[in-house]
Amino acid sequence: MKDLVSRCPIEEVMQIMSGRWPTLLIYYLKQGTKRFSDLRRDNPTISHKMLTLELRKLEDAGIVERTEFEGYPLRVEYDLTSAGLKLVPLLDALGNWWETVEAGPAHASTSPVKLSQK
Amino acid sequence: MKDLVSRCPIEEVMQIMSGRWPTLLIYYLKQGTKRFSDLRRDNPTISHKMLTLELRKLEDAGIVERTEFEGYPLRVEYDLTSAGLKLVPLLDALGNWWETVEAGPAHASTSPVKLSQK
DNA sequence: TCGTGGTTACAAAAAGGTGCGTAATTTACT
DNA sequence: AGTAAATTACGCACCTTTTTGTAACCACGA
């Protein structure tokens, strides 16, 4: 029973993008149209339950579009929506930022206890 | 036993920023130096255990700086690092993006089943 | 005794994995 | 010809794992 609408848009985004899968799925969908089984192959450690749940969430968020084709061994295609495409560079920016942090100055893991005095 | 180092920086960022608290804490720390109890007041629904865990995580990530002052009723101050400050506009960009998605065209919740045929 | 900023142990809740069932048709085997 | 098996994208139930909450405890000095 989480409040679906929070006061802050950033919280709402994080509610959707949190966890290991959303960014990964977006990464693979960025490569083009994917089917359910393609996405499972792309990321073999996700379970089908998780994949359906995460895809549904991204669909509800308007990031992913689901297209179901009538038929026999039922076919479903997943794509990024235009909104989803616009999200990609923002995630890339986060990744780039993180690389500068990692490389950044004095990631002092030497002193387990930090003490300062003013 | 999660691999702490993934291949992709975006995954690594998400590992840190996932969940409700990191963005919220950054939001409040953006306002300036905060003490532990300030942050609890800012966000009364976080438990003190979660607050310590999340602060520790952000500190380890180099986003937050913890300054401990010797003394009596022990005082600790938390600030965003320069890296943390640089993160803020990126999160804002995500928030802005999300607002355009919400407001965006045809969030069709009318048709529960979508069918297409090519 | 209270307030500060914690830690630890235990309990509850949430997230996630596994395996089975389903549809409707093609292909494979006998 | 008749039967069986495979395919695809799930839903559902059950169970395990992970995360989070709760409460108690710690030190120190006012």
CATH number for the domain harbouring residue A30: 1.10.10.10
CA distance B49 to A48: 33
Nearest CA of chain A to the CA of B8: how many Å? 8
**Cα dist. A109→A20, A23, A46 in Å?**
26, 29, 33
Q: How far, rounded to the nearest angstrom, does the alpha carbon of residue A57 sit from its chain's CA centroid? A: 10
| Beta-strand runs (E) in A6-108 | 34-35, 64-69, 75-80
Residue B16 belongs to a domain = yes
Residue B110 belongs to a domain = no
Amino acid of residue B77: E
Residues of chain B with C-beta less than 8 angstroms from the C-beta of A62: 101, 104, 107
Q: Residue range A37-50: average pLDDT?
A: 95
Tally of domains within chain B = 1
Residue B108 belongs to a domain = no
Residue A7 belongs to a domain = no
Phi/psi at A65 (nearest 5 deg)?
A: -110, 135
Is the pLDDT at A31 greater than 80? The verdict is yes
How confident is the model over A60-115, as pLDDT tens digits? 999 999 999 988 789 999 999 999 999 999 999 999 999 999 877 655 544 333 33
Is the pLDDT at B72 greater than 80? The verdict is no
Residue B38 belongs to a domain = yes
Q: Residue range B65-81: average pLDDT?
A: 92
In chain A, % of residues over pLDDT 70: 83
The whole-number Å distance from A96's CA to D27's C1' is: 43
Residues of chain B with C-beta less than 8 angstroms from the C-beta of A96: 9
Phi/psi at A80 (nearest 5 deg)?
A: -75, 140
Is the pLDDT at B71 greater than 90? The verdict is no
The whole-number Å distance from A72's CA to C27's C1' is: 13
Residue of B nearest to A82 (CA): B101
How confident is the model over B9-28, as pLDDT tens digits? 999 999 999 999 999 999 99
Residue B31 belongs to a domain = yes
The whole-number Å distance from A72's CA to C29's C1' is: 22
Residue of A nearest to B17 (CA): A18
Residue A102 belongs to a domain = no
Residue B28 belongs to a domain = yes
The complex's ipTM?
Answer: 0.85
The residue segments making up the domain with residue B42 are 9-91
